[in-house]
């Protein structure tokens, strides 16, 4: 990706969010997602808000400015709630946003917190009616006795207004915390997954859903694993996968039976016994699973690595990339400060040739599958001059630290990049630090 002779380099484009170091908890970004054309970029935060950015159309023709995104709509998706029966507060944090493919002028997205999924319609209004017979311009009703003539109201242009309205609320279907939602390729159904169950919904129907996976044991004391992520296959509407805290992925076919407790395929790599430690179970827990765009592969992220699986081979991944292997000797400290529980996401580029994931110290990593190259880049305000080329970073695991290298002990574990997104058709990426959204694009020569 980075290297001599015309390989891709990345440039800073924009950064969104507050500048000051004091991070308000509500501003912590919890999800980032491009829509299917890449024109819209949505973020969700801990405060339950959704902010949608839109790509500037005028700049699309100018390659070096095509990654300019501006705020398109902001709305409060979820509010904090209280479950009185269980005396539990339900966080308003947006766990996931998924866009629906566009069918008409309006845009639709699903956003979810721990318990409730909502379908939002985002529509534009750039005209308003004028010339009512019975109403004044300010909305007051006229005295009918003063009306002497009739006219037809007309639509006149107005400043663009983007409205977000909740069209559906899918509630009360999850006992445990929702970690994933995924829209089916049939554009009619979607799944939602919590720690122990996966439900299938129809986008039009809110008062019921079908339970398709249930791994809750009869006796909760026998619990050994939970569901950590789930996704529909991009093309096969009957196929979905879900990952577990034990590092396994199960592929299920909904045609096989109504309840997909029995998997069609089980993807698992045996553990390397020489790496066994107190924390083996934690670091093997899968935090994200994503199908490739072509539907032939899937990628999983565990604490230290990214793995690419061929759907036709269950016993081991076809590729494994170490994200930050130098952390393996630090697991004890990372357990103490809770960093070992961080759930990193991963994403594919448009043609499935490169995968990306985040790390600490505001570093993020890209792995070029074809050229067997990888690079570490940093999202920071220091490197945020317009079109500034990002310099590859290097972490020194041990021994003599070279110039420009950073030692493991200097890494800031509070600066973590958990959420990244890649434009579906272009080399534009969105990288979320704690409370800022960075947008980078490839360097245009």
Partner 1 sequence: ITTNMECAVDAQSLISISLMKIHNSRTQRGGIKLHKNLLVSYVLRNARQVYIKEKYAEIYRMQQYEEVRTVCNEIQELNPLDLDSEDADDEDQARAACCGDETSLCHRGAAQPAVHVRAPSTLLGCCPFEDSSKESEPCEYRSCCMEASPVSHFDPFSADNIRHCNKTTVLDLDTHVVTTVENGYLHQDCCCDALQGGQGAQSPAKKRKGEFGGCVSEAEDVSDFTAARKRAKREDCSYSNPDYTETSNISNLISIFGSGFSGLLSRQADLEQICSKQALAGLGAWTRAIVAF
The contact set with partner 1 (CB under 8 A) reads: 86, 88-91, 93, 114, 176-177, 195-196, 217, 219-226, 228, 245, 270-271, 273-282, 285, 328-333, 335-336, 338, 341
- Closer residue to partner 1, CB minimum distance, 133 or 275: 275
234 token code pair: 């991009």
- Closer residue to partner 1, CB minimum distance, 373 or 401: 401
- Closer residue to partner 1, CB minimum distance, 27 or 124: 27
To partner 1, the closest distance from the beta carbon of 297 in angstroms equals 25
To partner 1, the closest distance from the beta carbon of 223 in angstroms equals 5
To partner 1, the closest distance from the beta carbon of 273 in angstroms equals 5
To partner 1, the closest distance from the beta carbon of 93 in angstroms equals 8
To partner 1, the closest distance from the beta carbon of 3 in angstroms equals 31
How far apart CA 11 and CA 139 sit, in angstroms, is 50
- Closer residue to partner 1, CB minimum distance, 181 or 308: 181
To partner 1, the closest distance from the beta carbon of 132 in angstroms equals 48
Q: What is the 3-state secondary structure (H, E, C) of the chain?
A: CCCCCCCCCEEEEEEECCCCCCCCHHHCEEEEEECCCCCEEEEEECCCEEEEEEECCHHHHCHHHCCCEEEEEEEECCCCEEECCCCEEECCCCCEEEECCCCCCCEEEEEECCCCEEEEEEEEEEEEEECCCCECCCCCECCHHHCCCCCCCEEEEEEEEEEEEEEEEECCCCCCCCCEEEECCCCCEEEEECCCEEEEEECCEEEEEEEEEECCCCCHHHCCCCEEEEEECCCCCCEEEEEECCCCEEEEECCCCCCCCCCCEEECCCCCHHHCCCCHHHHHCCCEEEECCCCCEEEEECCCEEEEEECCCCCCCCEEEECCHHHHHHHHHHHHCCHHHCCCCEEECCCCCEEEEECECCEEEEEECCCCEEEEEECCHHHCCCCCECCCCEEECCCCCCCCEEEHHHCCCCCECCEEEECCCCCEEEEECCCCEEEEEECCC
Query: Is 84 exposed, middle or buried, given 0-12, 13-18 or 19+ CB atoms closer than 10 A?
Result: exposed
- Closer residue to partner 1, CB minimum distance, 322 or 425: 322
- Closer residue to partner 1, CB minimum distance, 90 or 162: 90
Residue whose tokens read 């695991």: 397
- Closer residue to partner 1, CB minimum distance, 177 or 293: 177
Q: Collect all residues with Cβ–Cβ distance below 8 Å to 345 and sequence separation of at least 6.
A: 287, 288, 290, 301, 357, 358, 418, 419, 420
- Closer residue to partner 1, CB minimum distance, 166 or 217: 217
- Closer residue to partner 1, CB minimum distance, 75 or 279: 279
To partner 1, the closest distance from the beta carbon of 135 in angstroms equals 47
- Closer residue to partner 1, CB minimum distance, 93 or 263: 93
To partner 1, the closest distance from the beta carbon of 302 in angstroms equals 12
- Closer residue to partner 1, CB minimum distance, 267 or 422: 267
To partner 1, the closest distance from the beta carbon of 341 in angstroms equals 5
To partner 1, the closest distance from the beta carbon of 441 in angstroms equals 35
Instruction: Say how many C-beta atoms besides its own lie within 10 A of residue 7's C-beta.
Output: 13
To partner 1, the closest distance from the beta carbon of 383 in angstroms equals 30
């Amino acid at each position: 990706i980075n290297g001599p002779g015309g390989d891709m380099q990345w440039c800073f484009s924009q950064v969104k969010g507050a500048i000051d170091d004091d991070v308000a908890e509500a501003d912590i970004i919890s999800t980032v997602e491009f829509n299917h054309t890449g024109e819209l970029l949505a973020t969700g935060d801990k405060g339950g808000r959704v902010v949608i950015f839109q790509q500037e159309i005028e700049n699309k023709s100018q390659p070096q400015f095509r990654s300019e995104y501006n705020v398109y709509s902001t709305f409060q998706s979820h509010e904090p709630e209280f479950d009185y029966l269980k005396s539990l507060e339900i966080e308003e944090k947006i766990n996931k946003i998924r866009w629906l493919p566009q069918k008409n002028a309006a845009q639709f997205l699903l956003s979810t917190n721990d318990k409730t999924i909502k379908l939002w319609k985002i529509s534009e209004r750039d005209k308003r009616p004028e010339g009512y017979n019975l109403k004044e311009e300010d909305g007051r009703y006229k005295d009918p006795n003063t009306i002497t003539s009739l006219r037809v109201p007309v639509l006149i242009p107005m400043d663009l207004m983007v409205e977000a309205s909740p069209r559906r609320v899918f509630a009360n279907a999850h006992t445990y915390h929702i970690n994933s939602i995924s829209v089916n390729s049939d554009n009619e159904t979607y799944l939602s997954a919590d720690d122990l169950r996966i439900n299938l919904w129809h986008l039009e129907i809110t008062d019921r859903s079908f339970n398709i996976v249930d791994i809750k044991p009869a006796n909760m004391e026998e619990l050994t694993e939970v569901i950590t992520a789930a996704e529909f296959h991009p093309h096969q509407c009957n196929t979905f996968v879900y990952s577990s805290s034990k590092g396994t992925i199960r592929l299920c076919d909904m045609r096989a039976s109504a309840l997909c407790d029995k998997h069609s395929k089980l993807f698992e790599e045996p553990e390397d016994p020489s790496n066994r430690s107190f924390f083996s179970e934690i670091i093997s827990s899968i935090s994200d699973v994503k199908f490739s765009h072509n539907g032939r592969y899937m990628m999983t992220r565990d604490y230290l690595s990214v793995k690419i699986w061929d759907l036709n081979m269950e016993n081991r991944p076809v590729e494994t990339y170490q994200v930050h292997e130098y952390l393996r000797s630090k697991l004890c400290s990372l357990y103490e400060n809770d960093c070992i529980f961080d759930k990193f996401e991963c994403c594919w580029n448009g043609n499935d040739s490169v995968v990306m994931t985040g790390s600490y110290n505001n570093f993020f990593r890209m792995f070029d599958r074809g050229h067997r190259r990888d690079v570490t880049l940093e999202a920071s305000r220091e490197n945020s001059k317009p079109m500034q080329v990002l310099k590859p970073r290097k972490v020194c695991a041990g021994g003599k630290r070279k110039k420009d290298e950073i030692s493991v002990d200097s890494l800031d574990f509070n600066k973590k990049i958990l959420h990244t997104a890649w434009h579906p058709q272009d080399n534009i990426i969105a990288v979320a630090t704690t409370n800022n959204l960075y947008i980078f694009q490839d360097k245009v020569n």
